[in-house]
Amino acid sequence: MILLIDYGNTRLKWRLVSSVGVEHEGATAEGAQALQSALGNYGRAITRVAVSMVGSEQAMAALSATLEKFTRASIRFYWSEQVRDGLRNGYVDVSLMGADRWHAMLGAWQASRSGVAVVDAGSALTVDYIAPGGQHLGGYILPGLQMMRESLHRGAARVGFDDAVSLCTVPGTSTSDCVNHGLSWLNVGIVEHIERDVIDLGLESVVITGGDAERLLALGLKGEHRPGLVFEGLALVDQAEAAP
């Protein structure tokens, strides 16, 4: 079995894949140390580990050390690339692009082979545009929902509010409503910008992933929800690199 790991800014996600499909998957906010208890029983069955991560070298070392406690499988870290399978990175220095962002684009591209907008609504919200021929046209990085909430909690001493899951965009009549409705209002603006860009750039579809994907869909974004998009791209790279 192959263990795929998507190690983001705030969560570590894993997917265990065999010849018949996904055997086990999960996520944790506790970092690498949670993997051993979650996957220890699969250690002998794991033949290869593929990792997409945006963390520090210290986090990478901690992850490797944890994996080595319960499996002898080879561990490969995959980063952003200039080109892969017809997808061409728009960054001049591809090392500056987060690996998860690249693998999400690959996952979307390999499935459609057409112009696509890739939205990853995680702790940061990223939007990337891929032209019909596979050229990455660039994108945007914005604070995600929780990051925006935390910035208001930390940076605005007189703005006390309760976090709430709200899709309402009407003007609020309490501080909590003003904040939560305001965040939805901002998200609607993002949705409208994405949909305009898709038309202007001649793209055919939108693919969305990340923890806040369902929120953006509920606020009107028209797209395909693919929760495992990073895993899809990571598996594509690993399969090609591990081939004899």
List binding-site positions for K(+).
120
Going by pLDDT thresholds of 50, 70 and 90, the confidence category of residue 158 is low
CA dist 239 and 171 (Å) reads 50
| 213 shares a domain with 140 | yes
- pTM of the entire predicted model: 0.94
| 74 shares a domain with 9 | yes
Residue 93 lies in a domain: no
Q: Is 100 a catalytic residue?
A: yes
List binding-site positions.
6-13, 91, 98-101, 120, 123, 175
Question: For position 20, what pLDDT does the model report?
Answer: 93
| 218 shares a domain with 122 | yes
CA dist 158 and 189 (Å) reads 26
Residue 27 belongs to domain spanning: 2-78
Q: Which of 78, 105, 128 is the last residue of a domain?
A: 78
Going by pLDDT thresholds of 50, 70 and 90, the confidence category of residue 243 is confident
- SS3 string, the chain, reads CEEEEEECCCCEEEEEEECCEEEEEEEECCCCHHHHHHHHHHHHHCCEEEEEECCCHHHHHHHHHHHHHHCCCEEEEECCCCEECCEECCCCCHHHCCHHHHHHHHHHHHHHCCCEEEEEECCEEEEEEECCCCEEEEEEEEECHHHHHHHHHHHCCCCCCCCCCCCCCCCCCCHHHHHHHHHHHHHHHHHHHHHHHHHHCCCCEEEEECCCHHHHHHCCCCCEECCCHHHHHHHHHHHHHHCC
Tokens of 6: 């998507």
pLDDT tens for each residue of 47-91: 999 999 998 889 899 999 999 999 999 999 999 999 999 999 999
Residue 107 lies in a domain: no
| 71 shares a domain with 141 | no
Residue 17 lies in a domain: yes
pLDDT tens for each residue of 192-228: 999 999 999 999 999 999 999 999 999 999 999 999 9
| 127 shares a domain with 222 | yes
| 206 shares a domain with 126 | yes
How many independent structural domains does the chain possess?
2
Token match 């940061």: residue? 124
Asked if 18 contacts 46 with a C-beta cutoff of 8 angstroms, the reply is: no
List binding-site positions for ATP.
6-13, 123
The domain spanning residue 20 has which CATH number?
Answer: 3.30.420.40
Residue 194 lies in a domain: yes
CA angle 161, 141, 57 (to 5 degrees): 100
CA dist 48 and 214 (Å) reads 32
Residue 221 lies in a domain: yes
Q: Which of 100, 128, 212, 238 is catalytic?
A: 100
